Amino acid sequence: MPSRARQFYALTKPRVVQLIVFCAVIGMLMATKDLPDLKTALAATVGIWLVAAAAAAFNCLVEQRIDARMARTAWRPTARGQLTNTQTLTFSVLLCTTGSALLYLAVNPLTMWLTFATFVGYAVVYTVLLKPMTPQNIVIGGASGAMPPVLGWAAIRGDVGYEALIMCLIIFLWTPPHFWALALYRAEDYRKSGLPMLPVTHGAEFTRLHVFLYTLVLFAGTLLPFVTGMSGVIYLVAAVLLNAGFVGYAWKLWRSYSDRLARKTFRFSILYLSLLFAALLVDHYLRAWF
């Protein structure tokens, strides 16, 4: 049995939170032509991580019975009964309170309130209300998951610029094809769980078509940084190449499905977002310094 510390750490969904923090840090770096103030950036990074981890833990608490029915999540400490509801809720509240206080005192009130609103959006609006009610849960709920660059931007600039909203839009459009690729090869899990995920309610072919269509919309959305002058040619080339790869995966997924291909598409989508934002950052600093 894992140690108690590892059980609590597992509640924070480390891989998911790492991607959230990565996108938030990109937002911080994009907010200035020079490097951001180190103390502010470090406090914002830790604060955002704590609140995101709190939301993940709360999600585990709410969905423990659903998690227990799914092979992908049955290992979670809450699903296995290794941690009680009181322990999990206390852990979540402690993380959220600590993270919010750090953001308020060491960063700025705007970042704290935006981060707390994101917590409510994911932990309550998405997890409690949307996820069990509609197959469009991930589309609507994706708004909270798209917020990290806005949080990072607000931490450094104290406002919400159009550049931050463009980055938010990109993640918002990326979320459905990313998550539906996972849902396709985990459809039986979701059927057992009772959640109305798109492959369960509308079938695999309908879902595959929507994955493909969303990658096309995403392609258009990722051109906005170049069109608005937020980025230059380096980002544009990277965006075109990465989108060609994602659209290619989605096309093959639609026309010739296999679970193996769905897994590859899901994994590529994570690499896609990381490389896209990395390219945005590289382009930003090369244009600023040269």
Alpha helix stretches (DSSP H) within 134-232: 137-145, 148-157, 162-185, 187-193, 198-201, 204-222, 224-227
Six-digit token string for 281: 């950052």
Query: Distance from CA of residue 158 to its chain's centroid?
Result: 22
The contacts of residue 74 (CB under 8 Å, 6+ apart) are 67, 68, 80
Task: Give me the pLDDT at residue 137, please.
Answer: 75
Q: How does pLDDT run across 33-46, given as a tens digit for each residue?
A: 888 999 999 999 99
For the chain, the domains span 1-160, 161-290
Does an H or E element contain 239, and which? Answer: helix 233-255
Task: Give me the pLDDT at residue 197, please.
Answer: 84
Block residue for tokens 């290992």: 75
Could you tell me the pLDDT band of residue 270, with boundaries at 50, 70 and 90?
very high
Share of the chain above pLDDT 70, in %: 99
Distance of alpha carbon 154 from alpha carbon 175, whole angstroms? 22
Looking at the structure, give the CATH architecture of the domain made up of residues 1-160. Answer: Orthogonal Bundle (1.10)
Could you tell me the pLDDT band of residue 2, with boundaries at 50, 70 and 90?
low
Q: How does pLDDT run across 91-102, given as a tens digit for each residue?
A: 999 999 999 999
Average pLDDT over residues 213-220: 97
C-beta separation of 152 from 26 below 8 A: yes
Mean per-residue pLDDT over the chain, rounded: 91
5, exposed or middle or buried, with CB in 10 Å at 0-12, 13-18, 19+?
Answer: exposed
Task: Give me the pLDDT at residue 140, please.
Answer: 73
Does 1 score more than 60 pLDDT? no
Does 191 score more than 90 pLDDT? no
Could you tell me the pLDDT band of residue 289, with boundaries at 50, 70 and 90?
confident
The contacts of residue 40 (CB under 8 Å, 6+ apart) are 106, 107, 155, 156
Task: Give me the pLDDT at residue 187, please.
Answer: 84
Does 212 score more than 90 pLDDT? yes
pTM summary value: 0.91
Strands (E), 124-211: none
Q: At what angle do helices 14-30 and 38-62 cross, to 10 degrees?
A: 150
Distance of alpha carbon 246 from alpha carbon 191, whole angstroms? 27
More confident residue, 25 or 194: 25
